[in-house]
Amino acid sequence: MTMRRLGAASAALVLTLGLAACGSDDGGGDGGSGGDGGDSIKIGIKFDQPGLGLKEGNTYTGFDVDVANYVAKEMGKTDVQFVQAPSKQREDLIATGQVDLIFATYSITDERKEKVSFAGPYFIAGQDLLVATDAKITGPKDLDGKKLCSVTGSTSADNVKKEVPGVNLQEFDTYSKCAEAVSKGQLDALTTDDTILAGYAAQDQYKGKLKVVGAPFSEERYGVGLKKGDTELCEQVNEALTKMVDDGEWDKAVEKNFGPAGFEVDSETNPPKLDTCS
Ligand code: GLU
């Protein structure tokens, strides 16, 4: 934890000394699986969700990216490596150690908790619909027999299968592919979190063509995915999340990333109270 206060040269020196001491010190330092006490950390994010996790060249932007960078910094990690974490692969990426943490519009669910643990929640979103500007769809009740798009391994696909059994659901691996299909009129609607939908609706290529219906029908509590049972890491992340809210950086990240899309954050549910790590 003291590492982040040191300059690069002294940090490198401490790292060298740290490595030399490792054999007798049982890893030492901040421990846990979040980069094994080194100064690098692998974080899973989305690469194609504007406002949340977006990769453009070597630049990463979005609310998830900002929260991830804040938490990593608090953990003393100076080298953050972002890894693409499509919805369906998130549990496996964590279980196999390909990522240390996931910040990827990742809803906390009991089913997922069988395979991974979660810090947070750090945001609460709601499932909604993205449709053509002139479409008559106003909610799930209008979806019977319609061609709906969502993503494999998401709560969005699961919820809608239960809610509207009569819908013709097409599942892709990313939401950006769904948005494109809806904009071309190949499919009637895309369903996922309102945060994600607002990001697409505000993109230049979709402005005036796509709209968010604006009637959320679920509660999506975004957690930070981590290795199942790593309570120490979970608590470290929660400590950083608490600090981010307290020092105003969480608010700034919300404004910076959701403001431009005109997405109104529900301040009754946000920022949410953290769950206990277990
Ligand atoms: N928050 C939902 C989920 O975790 C939908 C968004 C996503 O797939 O990332 O499944």
pLDDT of residue 36: 61
For 121-179, how does the pLDDT look when each residue is reduced to its tens digit (9 = 90+)? Answer: 999 999 999 999 999 999 999 999 999 999 999 999 999 999 999 999 999 999 999 99
Q: Answer yes or no: is the C-beta of 155 below 6 A from any ligand 1 atom.
A: yes
244's CB contacts (< 8 A; 6+ apart) are: 67, 70, 71, 74, 122, 250, 253
| Reported confidence tier of residue 229, pLDDT bands at 50, 70, 90 | very high
pLDDT mean over 95-105: 98
Which residue's CA is minimally distant from atom 9 of ligand 1? 105
Question: How far is residue 163's CA from residue 174's CA, in Å, rounded to a whole number?
Answer: 21
Measured CA to CA, the distance from residue 278 to residue 276 in angstroms comes to 6
Q: What is the pLDDT of residues 7-53, one digit of tens each?
A: 344 444 444 444 443 333 333 344 444 556 689 999 999 999 999 99
Query: Is the beta carbon of 220 within 6 A of some atom in ligand 1?
Result: yes
- In the chain, % of residues over pLDDT 70: 87
Find, among 116, 124, 65, the residue nearest to 225 by Cα: 116
Pick from 201, 208, 197: nearest CA to 150: 197
pLDDT confidence band for 61 (50 / 70 / 90): very high
Q: What are phi and psi of 170, to 5 degrees?
A: -110, 125
Residue 32, pLDDT score = 45
Q: CB of 156 closer than 6 A to ligand 1?
A: yes
Overall average pLDDT of the 206-212 stretch: 97
- Residue range 71-83: average pLDDT? 97
Question: What is the DSSP secondary-structure string of 15-46?
Answer: HHHHHHHHHHHTT-TT-SSSSTTSSEEEEEE-
pLDDT recorded at residue 18:
40
CB 106 near ligand 1, within 6 Å: yes
Probe target for ligand 1 pocket from 106, 112, 221, with the most ligand atoms within 8 Å of CB: 106
Position 37 scores a pLDDT of 65
CA of 248 to the centre of ligand 1 (A): 26
pTM above threshold 0.75: yes
230 token code pair: 């790593």
Cα of first residue to Cα of last residue in the chain, in angstroms, is: 23
Domains in the chain, CATH or no CATH each: 3-125+222-266 (3.40.190.10), 127-212 (3.40.190.10)
Residue 127 Cα to ligand 1 midpoint, Å, equals 9
